[in-house]
Chain A
C-alpha cells in the first residue's frame, strides 16, 4: 500500500537534510534530553542539505563525490538506519544495504553461524536461510573456510561472504557503498555480473570511486558536494565535470573543519 501517487517511484526525497548534533561539552546531551523542548544545547552539523531526489523503479543510480561529502550518510538515511533531521523521505520496497561489508561479522563464530545471523538481520526467515545456504556458500566460493571462525578470514573472504548473503535477500532496492573494492578482480566481476542481473528487476543505488563501474552500471549519476547535489544526469557527462573539478580543486587540508 503506497501513499505516493505513482507506484513507480521507489525513493522520493524532498528538501532532505541531515544534521548531526555536536555538543560543546560532554554533559550537554543530558541537558538536551531533559530540556530539549525548551532550547537546544547542540550545534547542528549539516551533513546533507536540500536533497531532492526521485528514483524510479528499475533505475540504477551512481553516486559520486569526494570523501566526507555525505554520500554514505545519504545511503544510511535512505536505508532507514538513521532518520533525516529535515525534509521528507519516502521509500517503498525491501532494501538490502550492502554497506561496510563484513564489519557486522562476529569474528569468533564460523562463517556458517554468521550467515544464519546475517540473514536474520537482513530480514530472512530461518527456513529461508537454511534453504539458500548452499547457494550462498557457492556464490561466496570460500570452500572449507565456511566452517572456520571468521577471525581466520582475509578481508577479501569476509567481503565475499558478506556480499553473498546480501545477494540472496531478494531485495527490491539494492544499496551498495564502495563495497567491492577489496575483492579480487574475478570476484568483482562476479559481483558486477550479479548486479547487472539484478538491475533487470530491481533498483540500484551505487557509490563507487571507480568511474568505470559507474559508467558500466548506472543509468544516472549524481554528484554530491558538501551535502548538496551539485550535478545529476547522464553518467558520462557528470563524470566528466566531476573529473574536471577534481583537477581544479586541490585536496584542501581544511575541508573537514566545521564551516557552520
Chain B
C-alpha cells in the first residue's frame, strides 16, 4: 500500500466521522432511549480524530496522548450503549473496572506519549465480547423482527469488524512503529476499518426501530 494512498485513507477516516456527526444533529430528537448515546459516540470520535490531525499537521506536535483519553471515553460510551445486553453485575464491573485499569496503565506504565497497546488490545477484546453478547441475547429473546432497523445491530457489526481487524495491529504496534513500510500498510488497513466503523455508525443513526 503506497504512502500516498494511506495518507488519503487516513484523512478520509478522520473526516468521515463528520457525516454521522452532522446526521446526529438532525436525528438526536427522534432517537429512542436505546440508541440515545450514539450521537455522543460519533461526536467524540470525530472531535478527537480531527483534533489529533490538527495537532499533527498544523502544530507538528505528538498527539498520542489523545489516543489514551479517546480509548477510555470511547469504551465508556460503548459500554453504556451495550449495557442492556449484558448482565448487570458484569456490565458495572467492566464499566468501572476497565477505565480504572486503563487510567492506571496509561499514567504509570505505558506513558501518555507512547501508544497504549495494552489498553487498546484489551478494549478491542471486551468490545467484541459486547457485540457477541448482543447477538446471543437477540437469538435468545427473539424480540427484534427487523435486524436492519436495529441501531445496535449496526453498531455491533461495526465494532466487530473494526476491533477484529485492529486487534492484531494494536497487539503488534510496538513492533510495527519502527518498520516504516509495514507501519504504513497496516495504518492503511486500520483506516479502512475505521471508515467501515463510521459507515456502520451512520446507518445506526439513520435507522430507527419500529416502536
Q: Are these two chains actual partners, yes or no?
A: no
Interface residues of A (CB under 8 A from B): none
| Chain B contact residues, CB within 8 Å of chain A | none
